């Protein structure tokens, strides 16, 4: 069983920044791909960013390109999402996910999920 714990969410004004973290305590998933998804109220969970196990392959959804950066520290079993220039439409619960295979942008490809962290951007 893979346990993922997200942190770093909160309330921020438009234009501000947050850094999300997702840790997998007690286990090593250095060869796994990791991703961030988000779900706004009344909407489907959508892809945000993904990174391969060695960082060579990185993907972003168009709406966050140039503002968000995904990174990982395999020694700490942690993946990060640096979010800059936040907009009210970024408000959502953010989930990290893991799969043991190539990074993809498809929700159903990911086998393990955290419980999410709330990000609220005020205008």
What is the distance between the alpha carbons of residues 60 and 65, in angstroms, rounded to a whole number? 6
Query: What average pLDDT does this structure show over 12-36?
Result: 88
Query: CA-based Rg of the chain, rounded to a whole angstrom?
Result: 13
Query: What average pLDDT does this structure show over 52-66?
Result: 96
Out of 3-7, 30-34, 53-57, 92-96, least confident range: 30-34
Looking at the DSSP bridge assignments, the partners of residue 18 are 83
Asked if residue 28 has pLDDT above 90, the reply is no
pLDDT, averaged across the chain = 94
- Here the tokens at position 111 are 């086998």
Looking at the DSSP bridge assignments, the partners of residue 112 are 98
Angle at 50 between CA 15 and CA 103, to 5 degrees: 170
For residue 24, what pLDDT is reported? 84
- Here the tokens at position 101 are 């295979």
């Amino acid at each position: 069983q893979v346990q993922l714990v997200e942190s770093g969410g909160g309330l921020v004004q438009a234009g501000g920044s947050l850094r999300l973290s997702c840790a997998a305590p007690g286990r090593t998933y250095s060869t796994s791909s990791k991703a961030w998804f988000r779900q706004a109220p009344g909407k489907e969970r959508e892809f945000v960013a993904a990174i391969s196990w060695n960082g060579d392959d990185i993907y972003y959804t168009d709406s966050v390109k140039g503002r968000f950066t995904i990174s990982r520290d395999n020694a700490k079993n942690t993946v990060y999402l640096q979010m800059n220039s936040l907009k009210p439409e970024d408000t959502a619960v953010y989930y990290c996910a893991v799969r043991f295979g190539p990074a993809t942008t498809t929700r159903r490809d990911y086998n393990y999920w955290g419980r999410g962290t709330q990000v609220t951007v005020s205008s």
